[in-house]
Amino acid sequence: MTSTTRPAAAPTGELSGSTWWPILRKELTELWLGGRLVLLLVLFTILMSITSVMRELENEANLIPPPEMVFLTVLMGYYLFATARAQRRLGG
């Protein structure tokens, strides 16, 4: 009788490279086909435009330091992501 050896399973909290790509592809396909990705890209473009204008105005007035502007930009991106994720979970 021969024994077969199975490869060790990945820990439950980690995804191996072979399982990560199909999940990413599925998520991106659902976002694109659902029409949400285009909306998110448009919102992100508007956000970056507003940030650019605000940065130019800030350079003239020196009201918001650059590190805080970066923080606010990242924070807005996080809120957009969280909103889209919540909307997807609710099925809306």
Residues 6+ apart with CB under 8 A from 16: 10
Weakest mean pLDDT among 5-14, 30-39, 65-74: 5-14
Q: What is the pTM of this model?
A: 0.40
Domain ranges for the chain: 28-90
Question: For residue range 48-82, what is the model confidence (pLDDT) as tens digits?
Answer: 999 888 888 877 766 677 788 888 888 988 888 88
Classified as helix, coil or strand, 10 is coil
Q: What is the mean pLDDT of residues 10-24?
A: 71
